[in-house]
Structure 1
Amino acid sequence: MPAMGKMRFCLILLLHIVIICKSANVDTISSDVKFKNVDRTIDIASQLVKITSKITLENSGKSPVKSFLLAVEASAQSKIAHISVKDANNKDLRVTETTVQGYNNVKFWRVELKETINAASTAAVTAESVFTKALQPYPTAIGQQEDQLVKYNGNLYIYTPYQVMSQKSNIIMNTKNIESFTKVKPFSQQDGAIQYGPYSNIEPFTEKELSVHYKNNSPFLTVTRVERLIEVSHWGNIAVEEIIEVEHTGAKLKGPFSRYDYQQDHHSGPASVRSYKTLLPASASDVYYRDTNGNISTSNMKVKKDSVELDLRPRYPLFGGWRTHYTLGYNVPSYEYLYHSGNEYLLKMRVVDHIFDDMQVDELVTKIILPEGSVNIKINVPYPVTRLPDSLHYTYLDTKGRPVITFTKANVVENHIQDFQLRYTFPRLLMLQEPLLVVGFLYTLFLCVIIYVRLDFSIHKSEHQHKE
């Protein structure tokens, strides 16, 4: 009987541990937190939707508040690419994805404040979010001479689990050509902007459709896939190569394409993409750019103080539904990105580089090839990624193969241009491996030549032996 009691006690204890572990990333909605004032700016001038919300938090309870929640409705969850929050001092706050019981269709983030909000006090924060593919071409197909019209469908109010006392919204389009938009008083329209509000006493999780139909000829370029290969060498060089697939995801071209009209009239194809600029590190050298037909001679490179600007011009202009595929590579000195102390090494490089302004990447694959013999590999990425199984890469003079670290991420934007940190151990004596292999190969080759020259492998007798 005592044994059975101990067993039950252990099972109950294990159950409690499991429940605690499961609820570690579960939050609750505090009724003490209110949004006293919200001032939103919705930028839909490019192919990305960028929402900046200046929020004044109010603690209406009696106990201090250390964190609050941000939420995104179900219709926008697949489109959000990045979210960040800063305090009144422009310092980044920690943002962690979380869940709230009973709200399975809502996506939540917990924002941890650097300073607690005392009772009856307020604090100001700024939340920034970026959405991809939130603008839909309407109509979906246009002629070569036509402008591109798009529709934005969003929420007129900030989607939040808290009560909002007052809110204003400002829609920025940078165009006067607005076909239609949602009209909820009070509102006003001036040039390329629409102002909504102020609206008072908005209940939590309130949704009201906001629709804007307007002209947008900005480049609707999507990188459907980019494979970024970083090959590290301890002999002073890091080689970077990117295989990039690009598609114009705007309104598709209706009817035939006339190259004559396109070249004669600069206003022809206003929604097409003739060229775009890619930014490389300032120390980039030996830059090459080629597609399936070979080198692109129409690309121009400009060296600046903090970057190398590469003006890429595809072989043909990109209209809606058209694609291109190319390879971009360059070298950078390892001393700018690789640090070491003894046998311990630290690599700090970007997860992804700037491809073009307001870029959106459907799939990013980053591969890091380390020198042969690297062990104890640990990687730290600034945001969640999917780590793929490690593999080996073989090149000349390799015996066991070079370790390859691979990870992927979907829905990437410019905000994801951040550094990863990769630590590994590499015995410095292994740097002699390749020179010794070369010396050993040459020694064996010369030895074989000497043996071949010195020895006589003929099967007939010499004349001197025949005369005797």
Structure 2
Amino acid sequence: MAKLRFYCIFLLYILIKCESASVDTISSDIRFKNVDRTIDISTQLVRITSKLTLENTGSTPVKNFLIAVESSAKNNAAFAGAKDSNNKDLRVVETTVKGYEYAKFWRVDLKEAVNPGATPQITVTLVLTKALLPYPTAITQQEDQLVKYIGNLYIYSPYYITSQKTNVILSSKSVESFTKVKPFTQQDGGIQYGPYPNVKPFSEKELAIHYKNNSPFLTVTRIERLIEVSHWGNIAVEEVIEIEHTGAKLKGPFSRYDYQQDHHSGPASVRSYKTLLPASASDVYYRDTNGNISTSNMKVKKDSVELDLRPRYPLFGGWRTHYTLGYNVPSYEYLYQSGNDYLLKMRVIDHIYDDMQVDEVVTKIILPEGSTSVKVNLPYPVTRLPDSLHYTYLDTKGRPVISFTKKNIVENHIEDFQLRYTFPRLLMLQEPLLVVGFLYALFLCVIIYVRLDFSIHKAEHPHKD
């Protein structure tokens, strides 16, 4: 009987999993009439923008279509997005296709169904991280950094393509070698391939380019973002950031003298980078384990606060740094109230540097003590961590902490989350009353101490004759 119960529970679990998982099929009525693809490898990220002319060759309207990446780029895909011809965002959901588990798929939901014979234009964007490999893997202080990109000459599509062409954008004119499949042309800072007619679904042909790329190859290995909400008019934000230079490693000794005298020394190193904070940010601090770092500049602009962060030492390949960045923002810009209900709208992650790639971000939101009915709405899937409590001054039960994490983050993930919670207004008086009560008890103890006589015997007064 126990075994039967176990099998029933296991079967129910499998059915729930199967229903919750998103599974799609490849429609034979869809084809791409034309594909104009751009592969931008001028930075440490690989951005692939494809302008697709969708064609419905069937007899029924089409409400969605699929995009995919090959198995070799499956783990590098950080972001997938799509826009229609009016430059409006389309809903993109990660999905699976039976029989193609080795690839990664997304379903793009169209705002309007595509009727038979219609040919709308859709723009799809894919961002890949760690898809550029340093080659050679180690260089001296004076050498340029060479990297190698290995991708697919054709767009990895589940549909038949009538015609397609590809434009590759490089960071420099210096190209060691590249794949040559006619027709192709090489121009300053770019290579054009195609057009190639009649490309079959899931076609693959290696595209390899070996070229010079001295762009900053910085990777945030981990960032812990702490947001502390106060109903007294302030929200404190603190970020603990770990950064590593993931480009070609430094070979041989490092000469500080040569680095300072020759501005062209260490072309692949990182001397500084710009971080953008909200325009209302104040009380900004930037420190590491040794204390405050004074080699930084802050510039206040109309829509942001620009920080020019300069670590204590330049970053070469394989070098790391660890620092803490904090600031305050007024709560009225991010916290909205309706009675006892509150809505917090802030970013999951902020801009750290241009073309950033983040291995892992952990965001923690500390709410005021007494907050209940917490609900979080996130712009994309994350991993929710267990809730916890945070204790600080004048706390009795502790402040609730809502935490979540996400891996493989790029600038496209800089979006707002929404957090709703309930907080009774009367609890605003808790801390002032605790302070008043403590001071009252202290003064009462002082009064009692002064008025009581703790001597063993009374002092004798001299008698008057």
TM-score between both structures, scaled by the size of structure 1: 0.95
Provide the C-alpha distance between the structure 1 equivalents of 2:261 and 2:104, rounded to a whole number of angstroms.
50
Deviation of 1:338 (Å) = 0.3
Query: Which of 309, 312, 320 is residue 315 of structure 1 equivalent to?
Result: 312
Asked if 1:454 corresponds to 2:460, the answer is no
The alignment's C-alpha RMSD in Å is 1.7
Deviation of 1:464 (Å) = 3.8
One-letter code aligned to 2:25: T
The residue that corresponds to 1:463 in the other structure is 460
The residue that corresponds to 2:37 in the other structure is 40
Provide the C-alpha distance between the structure 2 equivalents of 1:100 and 1:257, rounded to a whole number of angstroms.
51
Query: Which of 346, 359, 376 is residue 349 of structure 1 equivalent to?
Result: 346
Asked if 1:141 corresponds to 2:138, the answer is yes
What is the count of residue pairs matched by the alignment?
455
Deviation of 1:127 (Å) = 0.2
Asked if 1:197 corresponds to 2:194, the answer is yes
Change (3 A) 1:248 1:458: same
Decide whether the 8 Å contact of 2:171 with 2:212 is kept in 1: no
Decide whether the 8 Å contact of 2:43 with 2:171 is kept in 1: no
Deviation of 1:19 (Å) = 8.3
1:63 aligned counterpart, secondary structure: coil
Mapping 1:414-425, distance limit 5 Å: 414-425=411-422
Deviation of 1:108 (Å) = 1.1
Mapping 1:271-420, distance limit 5 Å: 271-420=268-417
Deviation of 1:20 (Å) = 10
The residue that corresponds to 2:68 in the other structure is 71
One-letter code aligned to 2:190: A
Unmatched tracts of structure 1, length 5 or more: 1-10
The residue that corresponds to 2:110 in the other structure is 113
Provide the C-alpha distance between the structure 1 equivalents of 2:343 and 2:17, rounded to a whole number of angstroms.
36
One-letter code aligned to 1:267: H
The residue that corresponds to 2:3 in the other structure is none
Deviations 1:251-307 (A, max 9, x none): 000000000110110000000000000000000000000011111111100000000
Provide the C-alpha distance between the structure 2 equivalents of 1:213 and 1:18, rounded to a whole number of angstroms.
48
2:32 aligned counterpart, secondary structure: strand
One-letter code aligned to 1:254: K
Decide whether the 8 Å contact of 2:282 with 2:328 is kept in 1: yes
Change (3 A) 1:24 1:319: closer
Deviations 1:333-361 (A, max 9, x none): 00000000110000000000000000000
2:444 aligned counterpart, secondary structure: helix
Provide the C-alpha distance between the structure 2 equivalents of 1:293 and 1:26, rounded to a whole number of angstroms.
52
Deviation of 1:165 (Å) = 0.6
Provide the C-alpha distance between the structure 2 equivalents of 1:435 and 1:337, rounded to a whole number of angstroms.
24
1:314 aligned counterpart, secondary structure: coil
Change (3 A) 1:204 1:466: farther
The residue that corresponds to 1:211 in the other structure is 208
Asked if 1:173 corresponds to 2:154, the answer is no
The residue that corresponds to 1:8 in the other structure is none
Asked if 1:259 corresponds to 2:285, the answer is no
**% same residue:** 81
Query: Which of 16, 23, 28 is residue 26 of structure 1 equivalent to?
Result: 23
Provide the C-alpha distance between the structure 1 equivalents of 2:20 and 2:318, rounded to a whole number of angstroms.
46
Deviation of 1:466 (Å) = 10
Asked if 1:240 corresponds to 2:237, the answer is yes
Provide the C-alpha distance between the structure 2 equivalents of 1:120 and 1:304, rounded to a whole number of angstroms.
50
Provide the C-alpha distance between the structure 2 equivalents of 1:65 and 1:123, rounded to a whole number of angstroms.
11
Provide the C-alpha distance between the structure 2 equivalents of 1:321 and 1:429, rounded to a whole number of angstroms.
54
TM-score between both structures, scaled by the size of structure 2: 0.96
Deviation of 1:24 (Å) = 6.4
